[in-house]
A and B are shown apart, each in its own frame.
Chain A
Amino acid sequence: MNAKLVEPDLWREISQIIDRDFGQDITRKISIGFAPFEIPRGKNIAMYLVPMSWIDLMDNWNAFSIQSMGLWLGDYDGTDFKISLLAAQKIAEDTSAYIIISSHSAEAFTYGRSILKESVIELNEQLTRGQKVIVFNEEHECLGIALLSIDANKLNRLGPDKLVAKNLVDIGWYIRRLG
């Protein structure tokens, strides 16, 4: 079988990365009742959260290759963990690491564009450069994930066309990846 339970040490490491990015205890909150599974994917490892009751079912699945299961948490490349859009939507309810952008720029963001100062409606002042943030539109719908290019408390010093956050992944990816 190509899927296996994540080793405790690796799971601890991934939990620390997610908690560092999105807040203390976030990983525990979203994984209650689930077991972490990994599936190798090229150079990366794809991580999934799977209901505990599914674990025993998989013993006889050798004739098939498991492609995905349960909630796709994200991909680990050996140093960083890239959280999936679906997991970001789960985390969105509990994190203060977010940015709200205007309706006009929301559309551009879903086409892969990054976030400029003029687009920002709300950003927590405590957040710092290099921080990953969940991106919301004004209706508080999760559009993706971005990486802050500035310390949030310096936002007001920027000109309207200055970069605030780089697009890491957005919901347009669902469509773009299919060509």
Chain B
Amino acid sequence: MQRKELRSKAKEIAKEYGYLPYMIERYLSLWGEDGTKQFLESCEEPIRTAIRINQLRIEIDDLIPRLKEKGVHLQQIPWLKEGFWADFSGYSPGALFEHMLGYYYVQGVPSMTVSRVLGPQSHETIMDLAAAPGGKTTHIAQIMQNTGKVIAIDQDRLRITSLESNIQRCGVINSVVLRGDARKIEQLGIRPNRIMLDAPCSGEGLIPIDASRKTSKSMADIRYCATRQEEMMEAAISTLAPGGILVYSTCSIAPEENEFVIDNILRKHEEVKLSKIELEFGSQGICDPYGVELDQSLKLTRRFLPHKDGTEGFFISKMVKEGESE
């Protein structure tokens, strides 16, 4: 499609679906007209509720019959043994007794996938940057069975209240919650085995959940996010132990906040390589967004897309910092 034609088509589609034209221009470049329309249509549909059963509190096989008895229909998420799509038959998922007891956590499928991609091991030291409201921190603690330590960092005082509440509710006792700027983590003097960086982003993947995102962010906002994401990633790489794993994710579908950010990092850091994600989900990352050739190893990254996966849009990458483990 010629530039002029693309702009004209984007304007027309943007008007029809209520988006800003710059967004549609990018979608047309990435997915073509059919793919763009499939994406836009799927963003009009609600996302299925999902829960993660918290094995720090209860065994999976003990909770399933309890929830079924209350009329909750569960469907296993194939790549996550503790993850289920859940139809609460009109009840609020947060109002059930079992939720208060910390038996489950209401969490998006991509968000619970990302902790499994990180693959924390018992007794390791893990850092979770931008940790609030705690879905990933509590999941990491669950996978580690409350051993080792999870250092959860966030800057926002209010969001930390949610983080602490969820830590308590879920029975997590191996976490330290720190308030401060994650770009300064090197000053902590800790070399974690793994770092989770679910970076603050423009939220372009959350349109099915928040329709206001169709018009609330400009290209400048996306660039601002990308700069901050790269700074956080730099701090994470400096701090990570040699041989350590860094998972970078966002709830944005924007290549500017994902593939481009990682491509920059790979160019600057020879010691950092993308690693294969063993779980089977989503589709592969984009190596040539908008016709720009990026590092070919970006095909090892994964994307969730509403029109392909029925989830919010999400990006997940797994990197290893080469070197001898300490």
Contacts and interface: CB of A to CB of B under 8 A. Distances in A.
A85 B168 contact: yes
Interface residues of B, number: 33
Interface string B183-200: 010011110000000000
A contact face: mostly helix, strand, loop, or mixed: mixed
A65 B161 contact: no
Contacts of B80: none
B97 A67 contact: no
A71 B173 contact: yes
B176 A106 contact: no
Interface string A102-124: 00001100100000000000000
A69 B175 contact: yes
B178 interface: yes
B165 interface: yes
Given A63-B187, A141-B101, A174 B165 contact: yes
Contacts of A177: 161, 165
Interface residues of A, number: 32
Nearest to B189: A60
Interface in B151-191: 153, 160-162, 164-169, 171, 173-181, 184, 187-190
B178 A65 contact: yes
Nearest to B98: A141
B161 A66 contact: no
Contacts of A86: 168, 171, 173
A70 B165 contact: no
Contact of B175 (A61, A68, A174): A68
Contacts of A57: 189-190
Contacts of B160: 67
A67 B155 CA distance: 11
B174 to A, nearest CB: 7
Interface string B133-148: 0000000000000000
A178 B168 contact: no
A151 to B, nearest CB: 30
A110 B97 contact: yes
Contacts of A110: 97, 100
B174 A61 contact: no
Contact of B178 (A61, A89, A141): A61
Nearest to A171: B100
Contact of A66 (B94, B99, B177, B184): B177
Nearest to B173: A71
B189 A69 contact: no
A51 B146 CA distance: 12
Contacts of A174: 100, 102, 165-166, 168-169
A27 interface: no
B302 interface: no
A178 B162 contact: yes
Interface in A73-108: 84-86, 89, 106-107
Contacts of B52: none
Interface string A159-178: 00000000000011011011
A17 B102 CA distance: 28
B188 A60 contact: yes
A72 interface: yes
A174 B189 CA distance: 33
Contacts of A71: 173
Contacts of B318: none
B214 interface: no
A70 B173 CA distance: 5
Contacts of B303: none
Interface in B218-235: none
B149 interface: yes
Given A54-B149, A86-B168, 6 more contacts: A59-B189, A63-B181, A64-B153, A67-B179, A68-B164, A86-B173
Interface of B: 94-95, 97, 99-102, 149, 153, 160-162, 164-169, 171, 173-181, 184, 187-190
Give 3 closest A-B pairs by Cβ, nearest first. Answer: A64-B180, A60-B189, A64-B178
